Amino acid sequence: MSVWPAWEVREGERATRWLHVRLAFGDGARIDALATVCEGWVCVEDVRARPALALEDLALFADWIEAPLARASGAETGPDPGDGAGTGAHRDRSARPRGPREQGLVARAYRAAQERGADPVLAVMNETGYSRRGALRLIGRARDAGLLPSRHARR
């Protein structure tokens, strides 16, 4: 993996850095990205991949590059995900339940938010640490497993 600076914007003590990231694989596959690092947060602005990435792979890509980007920008983070640990601002997903237990957790968070009159998708995001798209994917899986009612009532 290669990381090099694109540009930086400073406002007082705060700095936002944009960095280019390139991953090249032995089989000729390549991923180029532009990422932003600011106060411990990493945001992937643009990604170009040959061959194309699936959404699940894109989420893994963001987690995988977080620590190297933070190091390149001078920020401190935890160990690399390549070392088997979680990183920076994201929750440690390795300790979270998977499969049916995860779907049960999603369904409970979703229903509790509905009962409170809160946004159920935001509740699932807060509970799991996933982005909105990831939370929606988990909610769909919980629906498919029969733990949540279908989205549209059938007549």
Euclidean distance between CA atoms 1 and 65, whole angstroms: 9
Amino acid 83: pLDDT: 42
For the residues 15-29, what does the mean pLDDT come to?
85
What is the model's pLDDT at position 65?
80
First to last CA, the chain: 53
CA atoms within 13 A on the CB side of 123: 17
Instruction: Using CB atoms within 10 Å of the CB of residue 34, give its burial: 0 to 12 exposed, 13 to 18 middle, 19+ buried.
Output: middle
Average pLDDT over residues 76-91: 42
The CA distances from residue 51 to 46, 62, 76, in Å, are 15, 17, 32
pLDDT of residue 102: 79
Write down the pTM of the prediction.
0.45
Query: Can you give the pLDDT at residue 97?
Result: 55
pLDDT at residue 86 in the model = 46
DSSP for 97-119 reads --THHHHHHHHHHHHHHHHHTS-
Residue 68: its pLDDT value, please? 74
What pLDDT band is residue 73 in, cutting at 50, 70 and 90?
A: low
User: Of 77, 98, 78, 91, which Cα lies nearest the Cα of 131?
Assistant: 91
CA atoms within 13 A on the CB side of 49: 13
In the block, tokens 């390795």 appear at: 94
Looking at per-residue pLDDT, the higher value among 135 and 89 belongs to 135
Distance CA 136, CA 36 (A): 24
Structure confidence at residue 32 as a pLDDT band (50, 70, 90) = very high
